[in-house]
Amino acid sequence: MRHRRAGKQLGRNSGHRRAMLRNMVTSLIKHGEIETTDTKAKVVRPLAERLITLAKKGDLHARRRTISFLTEKGAAHKLFEELRGAVESRQGGYVSIIKKGIRKGDGAPVSIIKIIDAGKSDLKAKDKGKKAKKTKSAQVESKGSSVAG
């Protein structure tokens, strides 16, 4: 009997469940958002928020704890170097769950789980790159038209 046992089983044994959740949190940090079932999203959110809070501390012990949980060192680096600055001003609630609907194959309710401010810094960098390219191409065109005209 499972009386007084906290947490969702997710239809898996404990080792499989732990590995799946570690992989999902790693993917969430690497990609900024993932699509999964509602129940898995609800289990992943507190794990991801705990790691982001550790990253905000920024000390060596926090970095080692994060690396021990995540499956890739690159994800830990991204968490400490990039995402840390994006969520520095927030006191919590770094991860949001957005209901998407029902999955066609099995009828499971699906959600998108994403880190709130993860994409903003990336978008700003991309926009600056596009503006620089546009201005360079505009300068080349204006020089070309004045020479030809």
Q: Work out how many domains the chain is built from and give that number.
A: 2
Please write the tens of the pLDDT for every residue from 115-146: 998 666 555 555 655 666 666 665 656 566 55
Q: Give per-residue pLDDT as tens, 8-45.
A: 999 999 999 999 999 999 999 999 999 999 999 999 99
Count CA atoms closer than 13 A to 66's CA, side-chain side.
Answer: 29
Q: What percent of the chain has pLDDT over 70?
A: 79
Q: Is residue 58's pLDDT more than 70?
A: yes
Please indicate, yes or no, whether residues 23 and 80 belong to a single structural domain of this protein.
yes
Mark whether 75 and 14 lie in a shared domain. yes
Query: Edge-to-edge strand order for the sheet containing 95-102?
Result: 33-37, 109-115, 95-102
CATH of the domain at 5: 3.90.1030.10
pLDDT of 54: 94
Same domain, 16 and 49: yes
Full domain range(s) for residue 137: 117-149
Candidates 52, 40, 31, 16; CA nearest to 100 is 40
Q: Are residues 82 and 121 in the same domain?
A: no
Please write the tens of the pLDDT for every residue from 72-85.
999 999 999 999 88
Instruction: Find out whether 110 and 40 touch, Cβ atoms under 8 Å.
Output: no
